[in-house]
Structures are given as structure tokens and as C-alpha cells.
Chains A and B, each alone.
Chain A
């Protein structure tokens, strides 16, 4: 399949990328690894008239320890994040999730910035950043803004990034406690049918993959736990109030059931409890 015609520019800096976006508005799209955008373009679902390639901006590929946070440059590819000693030591759940995205070939190209800016509820990294209580750093003509993950994902493939802005960094707090990532898929390298990220930071934080039109915090579970429910009781409420999709892999009902099972497993693993 062949994409529709488009113009192509390689940006040598963030400023250059931003000025291209300002010039072309929402007819321009940033290209990093391309593993979310190029497939859409091959199917001609996305037809931007200009691609601004930021994939060579090495200054945005880093994993830094800043004391109580870890800062990850938006163009850090999943393979590098998974292998990063800083990430594995201080936010192991993030490194682990990065190592579970797709397959090795995808992880050689896909970036954390690309995954988060794409805003697919079935992606793993957005849910991980949400569970970690992370912050997204976005730059635009008006300057720099920091957006909490809880306010970042607005709808299916819609995020808080404006058409003339670029995500430059993902910042997550160091979380010393237990964690768990549960991802159920029928075949290797598939999207999660349902996924769960749990972080035991005081009262556990739980986020859900593919249970709605954005990555979601499992607030009913979190509230039940804060009210003193057992892990099993809290997990049994995972599907409440949610409207998960039905597709060829699973019905909404099955997804709701899966969420309760996977949340329970995630809570057990994250808290180190027996049951």
C-alpha cells in the first residue's frame, strides 16, 4: 500500500520543527519512528500534506536521573528505554513496559514521544505514564508547558498537544515500590486486548489499556482500595462505569471481565501480597 503524496522536510532542531508546524497548521505532522503514522498513511486514513521528520534530533533521546524524577526525551526509542540502566533502576515499570511494546523491530524505531502523542488507548506506554503520575513537556510558539498525564489524553487519538506544538519530554517520578504490568493478547506482538499497569506507591495506582477511548485510571478500584477493600474486592469492580470497545478480539463484556482478572493479578504482584 502506498501513501498519498506529501512533502517532506527534515528538522535540524526543535525550533525548526515548530516553525514548520506553525507555517502549515494541522496539514503538517511530525514524523519520529513512524510506526503509528506510516501505517495510517499507507491505508490513507491519514493524509498530511507535509511530514516534518524529527527522527534525527539526537538531543531529544535521553534518559536522565534528576533526583526525584526520571526525564525521558521524547525521541528515546523503546529499545533504548527498556535497556536504560537509569530507567531500570528508578522506574522499572516504565522500562519493562517499553520492552513489551510490539516486537524488536518496532522497538528499534518506535519512540515514547510518538506513542504518547499518538494517544491510542490500546498503547501500553500512555497507560504506564498515567499510572506513574507522569508529566508531559510540550513546546510551542507560546513557550513550554507541562501537562499532567491525567489531563493529557482527551479522546481517541486526541491529546492536549496543539497543532503547532511538539512533545519534547516525558517526566515520571521515581517510584521505589512494587509494580506490575499485565497484558493479555492472543498472539505475539499483538496489541493488548486488555492491559493493566499497577504501581504500589502508598495506595496503589492502577491504569487500564484498551478499556475506553483513552488510557484510563481505574478510579473505582483505587477508591475501593483506599476505603479498605481487599485486593480481590477492589479488582472485582474494575469494569464498573466503563465502556470498553467490542471488536473482533473481544466483546465489551469480555473486556470488563478481563479487567477484573488482570487488575487482581496486577495488584497481587505490585503489592507483593499472597492474594
Chain B
């Protein structure tokens, strides 16, 4: 069936099978491979993107459910000229990644979290990211990065 989605500001229209998962639409149809498939069972959060501004696990959303919606992926975070988003800048500055596999999902989850909680405590950040798992970092630097982004004053 026909599905129209706006992804990172650009409109797309495709004829899709209802069973196509949103993550597969983004990766395989649109070529936006920044979003990763980790566990495929809605646990790890590596597939996290923003759907109408809310973080969702795209491995558990059907592409048809995103018809008419606005999607933002990690590819849509950086500004023009490749200028990093403040959250991306903070992850870089505070060493919030090692292998990088969970990072796109972490950044998107953090973006949604900070939108709803602009001035969080450390405990709130830890809870706010509980939908995202990381095997490398032990989370400390991720939390530091998110707090730094919150305090940077650069988040719209």
C-alpha cells in the first residue's frame, strides 16, 4: 500500500508491504543505515528514531504505521555543513561511545528525553535512557554526555 513519510525533512512516497518494519524501510528502502538493528525484539534500543518527535523503537513499528508522519533519524541530527548536533558534540567530547553500535539509538533517545526533561538530574538521565543498552561503555560517559548537552544551553 502507498505510504508517505517525511524523513529528515524530505518527503518520500513508496508502495510497501504492510509487514515491512519501519527500521527496514529506513535502512533498505531509503538507504539510511545509521539506524541499527540490534536485538530485533524491542529491548536494546539501537533502532531508536523519532516519530513525530517521540523516540520509538523502529524494529517494533510497521512502516505503514508511519504513514503521514515525520521521522527523524541520526542522519537528520547534524546541521548544515556537517555541524554536529549539540548531543552529538557532547558524545564526542565526553567519549560517550566505543564501538558506536548503540550510539545512533542513544542519541535519538537522548534527544527525545531532553525535549521532555530539559534540565534532568543524573538519576533522571539514567532512567530516561533505560530503553537503550550499551555493551561497551558501562554508561557513565553516555550519562555525562547527555548531562553536558542539557547544560550546554545549545538545545533548542
Q: Which residues of A contact B (CB under 8 A)?
A: 1-8, 10, 31, 34-35, 38-39, 41-42, 51, 53, 55, 79, 102-106, 108-109, 188-189
Contact = CB atoms under 8 A, between A and B. Distances in A.
Contact of B40 (A1, A34, A35): A1
A1 B61 CA distance: 13
Contacts of A53: 64-65
B130 A104 contact: yes
A38 B65 CA distance: 12
Interface residues of B, number: 32
A34 B131 contact: no
B130 A189 contact: yes
Given A34-B62, A109-B56, A103 B17 contact: no
Contact of B62 (A5, A38, A102): A38
A74 B108 CA distance: 28
A104 B106 CA distance: 12
B43 A189 contact: yes
Contacts of B34: none
B36 interface: no
Interface in B48-64: 48, 51, 54-57, 59-62, 64
B55 A105 contact: yes
B41 interface: yes
Contacts, number: 79
With most chain B CB atoms within 10 A of its CB, the pick from A35, A102, A109 is A109
B60 A104 contact: no
Contacts of A108: 51, 54-56, 112
Contacts of A2: 19, 21, 24
Contacts of A189: 43, 130-131
A144 to B, nearest CB: 28
A146 B52 CA distance: 34
Which A-B residue pairs are the 8 nearest by beta carbons? A103-B131, A8-B18, A188-B130, A108-B54, A105-B131, A3-B19, A103-B130, A105-B57
Interface in B6-29: 17-19, 21, 24
A102 B127 CA distance: 11
B42 interface: yes
B91 to A, nearest CB: 18
B40 A38 contact: no
Given A102-B131, A103-B131, A109-B60, 12 more contacts: A2-B21, A8-B1, A31-B65, A35-B60, A38-B62, A53-B64, A55-B65, A103-B45, A104-B113, A105-B55, A106-B131, A108-B55
B76 interface: no
A191 B67 CA distance: 30
B128 interface: yes
A8 B131 contact: no
Contacts of B45: 103, 105
B109 interface: yes
B19 A4 contact: yes
B94 to A, nearest CB: 21
A147 to B, nearest CB: 28
27 contacts: A1-B40, A2-B21, A4-B19, A6-B19, A8-B18, A8-B62, A31-B65, A34-B62, A34-B65, A35-B42, A35-B60, A38-B61, A42-B21, A42-B59, A103-B132, A104-B55, A105-B55, A106-B42, A106-B57, A108-B51, A108-B54, A108-B55, A108-B112, A109-B56, A188-B130, A189-B43, A189-B130
